[in-house]
Structure 1
Amino acid sequence: MLLSPFEKVLVKRYLLPGRSEAFIALVAGISLVAVALGVAALVIVMSVMNGFRAELFDKIVGLNGHAIVQAYGGRIENWQSVLQEVRQTPGVTQASPLIEQPQMGSFNGRVDLVFARGNTAEDIQRLKPKLVSGSLAPLKPGAGEVAIGSQLAANLGIRVGDTLTIINPQGRSTPFGTVPREIAYRVAAIFEIGVFDFDERFVVMPIEDAQTLLLTGDAIGMIEVQVTDPDAVTEILKPVSQRLAGQAVVTDWRSMNASLFEALAVERVAMFVVLSIIVLVAVFNILSSLIMLVRAKTRDIAILRTMGASRKSLLKVFVTVGFVVGALGTVAGLILGAAFLFFRQSIVRVIEVLTGQNLWDPKIRFLTELPARPDPVEIVLIVIMALVFSFLATLYPAFKAASTDPVQVLRYE
């Protein structure tokens, strides 16, 4: 919508009203701030929700893979042939044997639930970027070395070099009953995945040591699988499911964390709808400020009409005035949202200090830090939505101004 020089002068005049119209300017300023806050809230919340889902997905899948193949009864005896079969499936990038069972961990009289996790040497090295202290090099079969999560270390008071005793209730049978199996392991490393449940429970060791601890012989518990496209994991592993029907079950990352990711999806949609209503309410301020401006400028509009200004020109002027306010508010909202996301962790800490409340408890939020991952497509949609709402809010007052009858107005002036 191109404006003539005459229309540009009017737009500038109405966007910057004089002292006599300070109240109208105040309402327009409030409209701009309201739109900015609404857009910023949408950008911040949607980016945090996206970041939360992405970080949770990366951390969970990074440790557990995109799917697992688990035999009925919990043990895969002929796992070498099954592993080879899975690796040869098109779309599978990696497949590794895995053992994982709940046990009891003890240190200096403290006892806690732990998950003894047996991994291959290659999979253990994937923890290297997550190390807090220690080294993964000593984790070799038969060495009696393990790596534990940072929260588990804090709960039991363990440091690198200490000895953790793992108690397997399925011990050896004696005439007096079953005697739990206890094996002491030296803690060689402490890692932090970033998912509270993992950091609080996992004890990682070579798979051979896990087989010895759990008395499984050469059997393993499951096969961890990674694929080229996580969203198509069900289709990629469908041939494996069919070939292993009756022997093993294939469970993908959606099924393993179904309730969590479904809750995130529902919450994400709900937050978008609620915050969109906030933006809609904000543009009503634009509507009210334009109505006030039209009523204040009724005499001026009538004079302009008698001087030859067309209805189309007046329509364009008032639509532009309202749209510019909405556009400036949208840009300000994007800047505000970007600044908040950039300094989000510092802002959370400041609020925690001021309120004395723990706003980001890893026990509840699963992650140790507030994540954020802006989606360019979503941001574009938010901008379009805000601009469309702003444009629609200008139509009624603009048509009202354009339909002003100069004869009726000036007759009583």
Structure 2
Amino acid sequence: MILSRHERMIAKRYLLPGKGERFIFVVAAISFVAVMLGVMALVVVMSVMNGFRADLFDKIVGLNGHAVMQGYSGRLPDWREILEESQELDGVVSATPLIEQPLMASYSGRVEGVLARGMRVEDIRSNELINSNIVAGDMAQLTPGSNNVAIGSRLATALGAVTGGQISLISPQGRTTPFGTVPRIVSYDVAAIFEIGIYDFDKAFVLMPMEDAQTLLMLDDAVGMIEFDTVDPENVGEILEPLARNYAGQGVLTDWREMNTQLFDALAVERVVMFWVLSLIILVAVFNILSSLIMLVRAKTRDIAILRTMGASRRSMMKIFLTIGLTTSGLGTLAGLVLGFVLLRYRQGVVNVVQTVTGQNLWDPSIRFITELPARTDPFEVLGIVALAMGSAFLFTLYPAFKAASTDPVQVLRYE
């Protein structure tokens, strides 16, 4: 929409308060603030929701892979054969044998439920998610037969464990005696403490070499499961379908969506609901723009009539009032984007300040899964938010612009 010089001059004049028009200006200012807050809220909330989902996906997949084949009765005796066949499939990046078993752990009289995980030493060394989040100790000390383990930071806090200390793992699968089964208790040295950033993992994981896990759980040469990473997580089922078919009698294949269905479905629903709920702020703002323009048209009826008698066309009047409404919305949108990006940049500091002032824990990792507030901005979503604000303003501005353009100068000026 291109404006002529006199149209720009008139639009600029009407944007500023005139004598007796301060109330109209206040309503327009409120509209500007409402658009700004609506755009800011949408940008911040949608970015946090995206970051929350992305962080969860990256960290959960970093530990559990895109899919897992779990053996019936917790055993996969032919795991080497499955590994070799998986390496021949197009789209499979890696396959990692694992042993996982819920156990009890004790340290200095404290007892906690844990999830013992056995991995090959080379897989432990190559896992960036674990090795880049070591807070104490050295993962290089985890070697077969060393009786060394690594534990999560929150488990260490709950037990009071430190590196160099000794933790005891209690397995119900012990030796059989005339009086029943005696639980198996094995002591290990804490060689390292890691903090992945997901509460459930940091609170429960005990990591050890696979050979030590096989000895502890009396699995001989078997493993419990095989974890797969693929080139396309969204199509992991199609990529691994031959394995699921060929080894259906030995184990069941579960992908990342099935393992975390409730969590990711809840996030998807919450994301959609939050978008539409926060969009109501923008709709309220454009209603304010509508009301302020209607009042402006009524206040400027005489001016409009004079302009029409001086040769201004209906199209020209439409453009002037559309420009006024879109300018208010555009400035509010721009301010909202700037404020939103600033809040995202300092989001954790803002959360910490609010927690300090209120005395409330706003980001409890035991509920939120992740220890810090994440954010990931999607440029296409930002464009959608801008389009929503500007498109709504355009539609709501059409009516007062049409009323201004349809003003009959004869009727207005006949008694002047």
The TM-score range, normalised by the shorter chain, is over 0.9
Aligned residue for 1:302, secondary structure, equals helix
One-letter amino acid of the structure 2 residue matched with residue 69 of structure 1: M
Residue 28 of structure 1 pairs with residue 31 of structure 2: no
> Partner residue of 1:51?
51
Aligned residue for 2:222, secondary structure, equals coil
> For residues 102-134 of structure 1, what are the alpha-carbon distances to aligned partners after superposition, in whole Å with 9 as ceiling and x for unaligned?
000001111000011001112212221010111
> Partner residue of 2:233?
230
Which of 198, 201, 208 is the aligned partner of 1:205? 208
Residue 214 of structure 1 pairs with residue 214 of structure 2: no
Query: Could you tell me how far apart the structure 2 residues matched to 1:242 and 1:335 are?
Result: 53
Residue 254 of structure 1 pairs with residue 257 of structure 2: yes
> For residues 222-251 of structure 1, what are the alpha-carbon distances to aligned partners after superposition, in whole Å with 9 as ceiling and x for unaligned?
001100111111111111111112222110
Aligned residue for 2:105, secondary structure, equals strand
In structure 1, runs of 5+ residues without a counterpart are none
Which of 318, 334, 343 is the aligned partner of 1:340? 343
In structure 2, runs of 5+ residues without a counterpart are none
Query: Could you tell me how far apart the structure 2 residues matched to 1:229 and 1:87 are?
Result: 15
CA-CA distance at 1:404 after TM superposition: 0.7
CA-CA distance at 1:87 after TM superposition: 2.0
> Partner residue of 1:95?
95
Aligned residue for 1:328, secondary structure, equals helix
> For residues 320-355 of structure 1, what are the alpha-carbon distances to aligned partners after superposition, in whole Å with 9 as ceiling and x for unaligned?
110011111111110011011001000000110111
> Partner residue of 1:266?
269
Aligned residue for 1:250, secondary structure, equals strand
Query: Could you tell me how far apart the structure 2 residues matched to 1:99 and 1:286 are?
Result: 62
* Amino-acid identity (%): 63
> Partner residue of 1:278?
281
Residue 405 of structure 1 pairs with residue 408 of structure 2: yes
> Partner residue of 1:6?
6
Query: Could you tell me how far apart the structure 2 residues matched to 1:381 and 1:333 are?
Result: 14
> Partner residue of 2:301?
298
Query: Could you tell me how far apart the structure 2 residues matched to 1:123 and 1:80 are?
Result: 15
> Partner residue of 1:328?
331
Residue 176 of structure 1 pairs with residue 171 of structure 2: no
One-letter amino acid of the structure 2 residue matched with residue 232 of structure 1: N
Tell me which moved more, 44-53 or 69-78. 69-78
| TM-score, scaled to structure 2 | 0.98
CA-CA distance at 1:79 after TM superposition: 1.2
> Partner residue of 1:69?
69
Query: Could you tell me how far apart the structure 1 residues matched to 2:79 and 2:319 are?
Result: 73
Aligned residue for 2:142, secondary structure, equals coil
CA-CA distance at 1:409 after TM superposition: 1.1
CA-CA distance at 1:372 after TM superposition: 0.3
Query: Could you tell me how far apart the structure 1 residues matched to 2:67 and 2:107 are?
Result: 33
Which of 314, 318, 321 is the aligned partner of 2:317? 314
One-letter amino acid of the structure 2 residue matched with residue 192 of structure 1: E
> Partner residue of 1:143?
146
In the alignment of these two chains, the number of paired residues is 413
Aligned residue for 2:141, secondary structure, equals coil
One-letter amino acid of the structure 1 residue matched with residue 266 of structure 2: A
CA-CA distance at 1:394 after TM superposition: 0.7
Query: Could you tell me how far apart the structure 2 residues matched to 1:344 and 1:216 are?
Result: 47
> Partner residue of 2:371?
368
CA-CA distance at 1:93 after TM superposition: 0.4
Tell me which moved more, 19-28 or 281-290. 19-28
Question: Could you say what the CA RMSD is over the residues aligned between the two structures, in angstroms?
Answer: 0.9
| TM-score, scaled to structure 1 | 0.99
Query: Could you tell me how far apart the structure 2 residues matched to 1:300 and 1:197 are?
Result: 68
> For residues 171-219 of structure 1, what are the alpha-carbon distances to aligned partners after superposition, in whole Å with 9 as ceiling and x for unaligned?
1011121111110000000001110000000000000000000011111
Query: Could you tell me how far apart the structure 2 residues matched to 1:272 and 1:8 are?
Result: 35
CA-CA distance at 1:19 after TM superposition: 4.1
Query: Could you tell me how far apart the structure 1 residues matched to 2:328 and 2:145 are?
Result: 71
Aligned residue for 1:20, secondary structure, equals coil
Query: Could you tell me how far apart the structure 1 residues matched to 2:50 and 2:150 are?
Result: 31
Query: Could you tell me how far apart the structure 1 residues matched to 2:144 and 2:249 are?
Result: 33
Query: Could you tell me how far apart the structure 1 residues matched to 2:117 and 2:263 are?
Result: 23
Q: Which runs of 4+ in 1 moved over 6 A?
A: none
Query: Could you tell me how far apart the structure 2 residues matched to 1:82 and 1:313 are?
Result: 74
One-letter amino acid of the structure 2 residue matched with residue 253 of structure 1: W
> For residues 26-54 of structure 1, what are the alpha-carbon distances to aligned partners after superposition, in whole Å with 9 as ceiling and x for unaligned?
11111111001001111111100000000
Query: Could you tell me how far apart the structure 1 residues matched to 2:375 and 2:341 are?
Result: 11
Query: Could you tell me how far apart the structure 2 residues matched to 1:255 and 1:241 are?
Result: 15
Residue 111 of structure 1 pairs with residue 111 of structure 2: yes
Query: Could you tell me how far apart the structure 1 residues matched to 2:114 and 2:19 are?
Result: 71
Residue 156 of structure 1 pairs with residue 159 of structure 2: yes
Which of 285, 291, 294 is the aligned partner of 1:288? 291
Tell me which moved more, 35-44 or 79-88. 79-88
